[in-house]
Amino acid sequence: MKFKLVLAFSFWMLVMAVSCNKDDISFDAPSQELSFSRDTVFCDTVYHQVRSETYAVKVYNNEDKDILIPRIHLEKGASSLYKINVDGKPGHDFKDVPLRKKDSLYIFVEIAPEATGPEAIAEDKILFQSPAGEQRVVLFSVVQDAEFFIKSSTNPNIITTDATWTNNKAKIIYGDLTVDQNVNLNIQPGTKVYFHKNSGMKVLSGASLNINGTLANNVILRGDRNDPAYDTIPKNWNSIKMEAGSTLTMNYARLFGGTTGLELKQANATINNSFIHTFQEYGIYAVASTVNARNLVTNNCGESAVGIFKGGTHNYTHSTLVNYSDILSSYNRNGIFATNEWTNASGQTEQGALILNVRNSIVYSDRDNAVNFEQTPGQMFNFTFQNCLLKYSGTSEAGFPFENNVSVIQSVKNVDPLFVNYFVAQMNLRVKQNSPAIGKGNAAVAATVPTDIAGVSRTSNPTLGAYQYF
């Protein structure tokens, strides 16, 4: 009995000690300014009624004393489009927030706005008020109105009649969106098309996908994570699949950030003034297809910028087909891969004749070799490199001899094209003023593509690739 009394007494003494110790903590008013991990929170572009990802701001107490921050609040109060969570508590206005000496606390920020037009800016501030003065962290986001295409068990997500998408609303695709047989989908200048994770587009036989961007208003096709960090990461969505007998016309488009950009299966594609980059596997994956591309720029594709299977007819003129990557360094990273063969879904090998013409172009890589040809004996494999700059490591690796080859015309190998910046985060695939690509283009070929991807004339002294040096 005495032992139980002693144990109970000891327990209550411990509780009292802890309580007294807690009461002994004194929090003073701040005498210095707080510091922050960032003074501005740039939220990714968000869409009508879609919640953004959560962003964190750390608040630091640099003083040698525990402080109570008198007030932390959103400037616009309860009417703000933003939501904040201060040290684990949601709200918009917080009083007497404790912060121990030399310690920090987290403020989490997100936004789920109502759109008021095609595109607007949402701004607010987190205000910190104390005797040391008012401080602020700015909150900033672009808000877009959006139209959603959501595949579900009750909605197959199929466009069954001719349609035109304009730039008045962003297009957000969840799951596969299908363009039905013999239907035309036209995408107008400035339209932004966003694909959710594991989503894509399929264009069926006889259907047409017409992407009609302009120099001033490109069409953007990308994943729906708009934070700039995702601009340099592949596999955020799947691909655009063009089925047998379908037609793609793409002008002034920027396509990036998925598994494969364009999957063409016995399809026809005309691509002008477009940028395809940052795909886990291929920028263009073409099976027995016809591709005519002018002023095409590619970069940062795991297997190959252009992958050609089961032959087909391909023409690339004044194109910059390069492949530089850090995050995909374990992949092949070719500029062009071409073969007469293709393995179908049943595991059977199919073959086809190939015609490939690459003119006034740059095909380069940070690997030793940027071109890989695998010809099947007995199948036609006709190719021409005319006035091109190639990364080439030898016949066994590339699959063709470079010297004394009638198919390699006035071309050079293994001379650095000297791009301004080929890293994906700052990609600028123009060439520097001392580039060996300047003035090396064939004038007759250049006359067929008289302006470069930026609208600059190349009718004299044509530069290889999609950009004219001026």
Tokens for 450, please give them. 């008289």
- How deeply is 60 buried, as exposed, middle or buried, from its count of CB atoms within 10 A (0-12, 13-18, 19+)? middle
| Three-state secondary structure call for residue 33 | coil
3-state helix, strand, coil in the chain (%, to 5): 10, 45, 45
- How far apart CA 318 and CA 293 sit, in angstroms, is 9
User: Measured in whole angstroms, how far is the alpha carbon of residue 245 from the centre of its chain?
Assistant: 29
User: Measured in whole angstroms, how far is the alpha carbon of residue 136 from the centre of its chain?
Assistant: 31
Rounded to two decimals, the pTM is 0.82
- How far apart CA 184 and CA 172 sit, in angstroms, is 19
Q: Are strands 362-365 and 408-409 parallel, antiparallel or unpaired?
A: unpaired
Residues in CB range of 114: below 8 A, 6 or more apart: 48, 49, 81
Give the sheet arrangement for strand 89-91, strand by strand. Answer: 35-36, 55-60, 104-111, 82-86, 89-91
Cα dihedral across residues 116, 142, 126, 49: positive or negative? positive
The domain limits of the chain are 35-143, 146-447
Residues in CB range of 304: below 8 A, 6 or more apart: 282, 283, 323, 332, 333, 334, 335, 336, 337, 372
- How far apart CA 33 and CA 422 sit, in angstroms, is 42
Class for the domain spanning 146-447: mainly beta
Q: Which fold has domain 35-143?
A: Immunoglobulin-like (2.60.40)
Structure-token match 């630091």, residue found? 60
- Residues in the chain, how many? 470
| Three-state secondary structure call for residue 219 | strand
| Three-state secondary structure call for residue 40 | strand
Walk along the chain (470 residues) and give the pLDDT tens digit of each residue: 455 544 555 555 554 554 444 445 688 989 999 999 999 998 877 877 677 788 999 999 999 999 999 999 999 999 898 999 998 899 999 999 999 999 999 999 998 777 666 667 788 999 999 998 999 999 988 888 888 899 988 899 999 999 999 999 899 999 999 999 999 999 999 999 999 999 999 999 999 999 999 999 999 999 988 777 778 899 999 999 999 999 999 999 999 999 999 999 999 999 999 999 999 999 999 999 999 999 999 999 999 999 999 999 999 999 999 999 878 888 889 999 999 999 999 999 999 999 999 999 999 999 999 999 999 999 999 999 999 999 999 999 999 999 999 999 999 999 999 999 988 767 899 999 999 999 999 999 999 999 999 999 999 999 999 999 98
